[in-house]
Amino acid sequence: MTASSQLRRILHLIPELGDGEPHSLAEIARRIGVDRDVLLRDIRDISERFDTPGGFIEGLTIYLEADTVEVITNHFLRPMRLTRPELLALELGLAMLQAERPPEERPGIERARKRLEQVLAGTPDHESDYRFASAGQTGDPEHFRRLQQASRARRRVRLTYRKSGADEASSRMLCPYGIVFASGMGYIVADCGGEGLRFFRLDRVEGVEVLDERYERPKDFSLEAVLREGRVFQADEAGTLRVRYSPSVARWIAEREGKTLEADGSLTMEHSLADVDWAVRHVLQYGPDVEVLEPAAVREEIVRRLRLLHESP
């Protein structure tokens, strides 16, 4: 099973299920042209991958019974004539998939992205002023693959990791619970024993050794809850990022966050801040449509990086 073939199945599967009604697993499998086990695996993968990028897409709920499946979602309810923003979202999903899949599967995904680019080139520019977004950073693909395997097999790993600002990497033992993507960055969520649950940026991982020792993940653990609670960006001394979104982007952000717009159509929000790098990436993705109100350190770092870009040849 390749990533591109699974993507094709899922693109057919979700519209089949997205009407909020119970469907026979046997009938859906027949329509998609796969057996029951493949169908159940695709449904499982949808539930596992629908947590990224955090906060960018409204969730869906899957009710799976012995013989039926039901999907509750606000998407895919109209005829499937994709708008430009939806095509861009699909291109972003392909970019994220390409980043995490092994090298032999990437050419097929790249071909799909090229076809999407051709479709996007033929859409009217006046429909939207959306920009392409970059996929979450995963660091070394081999490290990513080993961490995924260890998480699925419930095996402990020895991680070589370089903290922000550190001159040298250090080694630590951990139990990888899963991988999440939040605001353009990939993280491994892991139990570090006495330190409890910790988050490690994938682009800072310098080595992964999968050990024979197994572990048990708590039954009540949920990656979705980790993202929903914003725990990726929480720290012992977390600060607050306060920003104002202009009316041109505020409506979309208010809808996904359940917030109320100001009288002028803008939106002011506060985000937990434990990583200045994340704050800079978050702000720059909106360009002139977002203003940093506080802290001053984030404003200064954005100005510094923009000056470097301007000065570079």
- Alpha-carbon distance 308 to 312, whole Å? 6
In sequence order, the 6+-apart residues with CB closer than 8 A to the CB of 285 are 131, 133, 184
Could you tell me if 148 and 226 lie in one domain? yes
Could you tell me if 147 and 198 lie in one domain? yes
Residue 136 included in any domain: no
- pLDDT for 96: 67
| Average pLDDT value over all residues in the chain | 76
Could you tell me if 154 and 217 lie in one domain? yes
Residue 134 included in any domain: no
pLDDT in tens, 109-148: 888 888 888 777 766 553 444 444 444 455 678 888 889 8
* 3-state secondary structure at position 273: strand
* 3-state secondary structure at position 221: coil
Residue 132 included in any domain: no
Could you tell me if 211 and 249 lie in one domain? no
Residue 133 included in any domain: no
* 3-state secondary structure at position 103: helix
What is the extent of the structural domain holding 56?
A: 3-72
Task: Tell me the Cα Rg of the chain.
Answer: 21
Could you tell me if 153 and 96 lie in one domain? no
The CATH number given to whatever domain includes residue 53 is 1.10.10.10
| 252: its two tokens | 């979309």
Could you tell me if 191 and 213 lie in one domain? yes
- Alpha-carbon distance 187 to 161, whole Å? 12
In sequence order, the 6+-apart residues with CB closer than 8 A to the CB of 194 are none
Residue 299 included in any domain: yes
Task: Please count the CA atoms within 13 angstroms of the CA of 222 that sit on its side-chain side.
Answer: 10
Residue 94 included in any domain: yes
E strand or H helix at 307:
helix 296-311
pLDDT (tens, 9 = 90+) of the chain, 313 residues, equals 566 777 778 777 877 776 667 888 888 888 888 888 888 888 877 766 544 443 334 456 777 788 888 876 655 554 456 677 777 777 777 776 776 666 677 788 888 888 888 777 766 553 444 444 444 455 678 888 889 889 889 999 999 998 866 788 889 899 998 887 765 567 888 888 766 778 888 888 999 999 999 998 888 877 767 666 555 555 444 568 899 999 988 888 888 778 889 999 999 998 766 567 777 877 887 888 899 998 888 888 888 887 877 665 5
Size of the chain in residues: 313
Last residue of a domain, one of 204, 233, 262: 233
E strand or H helix at 251:
helix 247-257
Residue 78 included in any domain: no
Question: In terms of pTM, does the model score above 0.85?
Answer: no
Could you tell me if 198 and 178 lie in one domain? yes
| 101: its two tokens | 């899949």
Residue 167 included in any domain: yes
Last residue of a domain, one of 233, 252, 272: 233
pLDDT in tens, 240-290: 889 999 998 888 888 877 888 999 999 999 876 656 777 787 788 788 889
Could you tell me if 175 and 229 lie in one domain? yes
The number of folded domains in the chain is 4
| 77: its two tokens | 């309810």
Under 8 Å between Cβ of 127 and 84: yes
Could you tell me if 224 and 250 lie in one domain? no
- pLDDT for 55: 37
Could you tell me what percent of the chain has a pLDDT over 70? 71
The CATH number given to whatever domain includes residue 156 is 2.30.30.520
Could you tell me if 226 and 161 lie in one domain? yes
